[in-house]
Amino acid sequence: VTINDQTFQRGPQGATHQTARGETPTLTTQQGVPVSDDQNSLKAGPRGPVVLEDFHLREKIFHFDHERIPERVVHARGYGAHGFFELTDSLSEYTRASVLSKVGQRVPAFVRFSTVAGNKGSFDLARDVRGFAVKLYTEEGNWDLVGNNIPVFFIQDAIKFPDMVHAVKQEPDRGFPQAQSAHDNFWDFASLSPETTHMLMWVMSDRAIPRSFRFIEGFGVHTFRLVTAEGKSTYVKFHWKPKQGLQSVVWNEAVKINGADPDFHRRDLWDAITSGNYPEWELGVQLFDDSFADKFDFDILDATKLIPEEIVPVRRVGRLVLDRMVDNFFAETEQVAFCTQNIVPGIDFTNDPLLQGRNFSYLDTQTKRLGGPNFTHIPINAPKCPFHNFQQDGHMAMHNPKGRVNYEPNSWGGGPRENPKTGYVPFAEEVRGPKTRERGELFADHYSQARQFYISQTKPEQMHIKNAFVFELSKCEHPVIRSRVVAHLLNVDQDLAQNVAKGLGLDALPEAAPPARPVVSTLPASDPLSILKN
Ligand code: HEM
């Protein structure tokens, strides 16, 4: 780092004036007018009142007053970096997406890691899910894989998301706790929503206190589709596997680190990338078809379930490398807008009701957060392939149509045209059924995978989970809520439930919460396919 040692010129009152010379450009107003003095307001006499006429003063303070934009309603605290994605194994048999077909093709990438619950200024090592949002600037448009470091989610339907987020964030009267799930409202909601049980197991595990962003996995969570040019669809789950491996800290370390360096994860990523130690992830896919999906005891549209890797192995098809930090945190990391509906030809949605709600939510919130419909014009959000459309006007419009033509069809021969060959064609899924708010019956097993996760952990990891439940629930003051959580844990693992009850000093074990479907009680260790029906 070179320090600019330009000699200082002292003004009459001792203020430092660093003046333009040599390579140093002249400071200007936003209108480009050169500024002669940036240290003193314009006054009527050296001791007189400041005059309203001082356009430089007013512009500077006005702009400062407007610096803050609303923080993200969730995932407010995050850290981003640039890099690239390179395909190593073609999926052209399953998809027409160029980014997943052309081996060796590199596309630019931007990734933002985040915590979910804490505000923008909260600490990095909260016990929390980590966001793992990836934007790939492909030659067919931007593809955003807006995932987390945990393969499942708390809820099954987006209609519960506002409740879940209200419950996990600061309580509305007292304005705390910040950045943690250890309080009555969160546990009240969780204990009244058995579908959260599987995700809770992951959140109470070491996964929720990672050593750094470089040591986390990423998951697209939902089941998506890959679609060929002929319209054939294959289900897909997306994974990011860290080449660095998986690492976490233990809770005592997390607490100390948060006190000593709340920016621990930010600093780690900055230090690694600026010193040339580029983190890398492999893109993995689990592929399966309808008949395979029908064999599961759960619904593949249910985001609280994962597809066991023993049953559908993860095929590694590409690599994501982060090799450049941002030039400006606000311009890039704050203004980046990921959205699940940003997909490219050859990739498609499923009817997962959580995913369908997300597709509405992100664009809607970003229109507010980033001040209108033109945030795709901000460089970090703009595609890097050619793009042309007739969208116009609105706040901050940078790409209005040129010339007379701003509609089609038109007789002037100008402007872009639709393209049936290269254009996005949704998968022609047949949709039939009564309009209903009912959930599919296979959404009802909330405990089997929670149990499978718990028993797949090593003894020390199981101990961390027990301790985490005891610690977090000990911050929950209401005994009924504590008991309710233990009642769910009794369906996950007897020993876990007993230890948590003991750690909390409960007088007696509650009755187990009645499961809506029978709990599958074993891991598919020797014969993984045995957990499939038939
Ligand atoms: C932000 C992941 C569910 C609404 C984010 C971010 C991630 C993420 C990674 C941060 C993006 C960034 O870094 O800028 C997920 C995952 C989910 C999930 C993996 C479940 C599988 C939902 C649901 C909703 C939702 C169900 C709403 C119905 C939002 C909103 C933001 C956000 C409003 C803030 C976006 C912004 O201001 O740019 N989510 N989310 N999320 N998520 Fe989700």
Please, which residues bridge with residue 233 across strands? Answer: 227
CA of 149 to the centre of ligand 1 (A): 13
Report the chain's mean pLDDT, rounded to a whole number. Answer: 94
Nearest to 57 by CA among 37, 72, 77: 37
Active-site residue, 75 included? yes
Cα–Cα distance, 47 to 38 (Å, whole number): 18
Among the listed residues 75, 82, 183, 265, the single catalytic one is 75
Quote the pLDDT of residue 7: 58
The packing angle between helices 184-191 and 479-489, to 10°, is: 40
Among the listed residues 56, 82, 142, 148, the single catalytic one is 148
The answer to whether the CB of 325 falls within 8 A of the CB of 81 is yes
CA of 145 to the centre of ligand 1 (A): 11
Residues with CB under 6 A from ligand 1: 72-75, 78, 112, 114, 131, 133, 146-148, 153, 158, 161, 221, 303, 336-338, 354, 357-358, 361-362, 365-366, 369
CA of 358 to the centre of ligand 1 (A): 7
Residue-by-residue DSSP string for 49-100: PBPTT-HHHHHHHHHHHT---PPPSSS-SEEEEEEEEEE-S--TTT---GGG
ipTM value, please give it.
Answer: 0.95
Task: Convert the pLDDT of each residue in 14-65 to its tens digit.
Answer: 888 889 988 899 999 999 999 999 999 999 999 999 999 999 999 999 999 9
pTM of the model: 0.95
Quote the pLDDT of residue 414: 84
Q: What is the dihedral of CA 207, 351, 529, 145, to 10 degrees?
A: -40
Quote the pLDDT of residue 359: 98
Task: Convert the pLDDT of each residue in 227-261 to its tens digit.
Answer: 999 999 999 999 999 999 999 999 999 999 999 99
Tens of pLDDT, residue by residue, the chain (534 residues): 566 655 567 777 788 888 998 889 999 999 999 999 999 999 999 999 999 999 999 999 999 999 999 999 999 999 999 999 999 999 999 999 999 999 999 999 999 999 999 999 999 999 999 999 999 999 999 999 999 999 999 999 999 999 999 999 999 999 998 766 678 999 999 999 999 999 999 999 999 999 999 999 999 999 999 999 999 999 999 999 999 999 999 999 999 999 999 999 999 999 999 999 999 999 999 999 999 999 999 999 999 999 999 999 999 999 999 999 999 999 999 999 999 999 999 999 999 999 999 999 999 999 999 999 999 999 999 999 999 999 999 999 999 999 999 999 999 988 999 999 999 999 999 999 999 999 999 999 999 999 999 999 999 999 999 999 999 999 998 999 999 999 999 999 999 999 999 999 999 999 999 998 888 865 554 455 555 544
Quote the pLDDT of residue 523: 54
Quote the pLDDT of residue 534: 41
Quote the pLDDT of residue 533: 45
Quote the pLDDT of residue 102: 98
Strand positions, DSSP E, 157-279: 218-219, 224-227, 233-242
The answer to whether the CB of 53 falls within 8 A of the CB of 20 is no
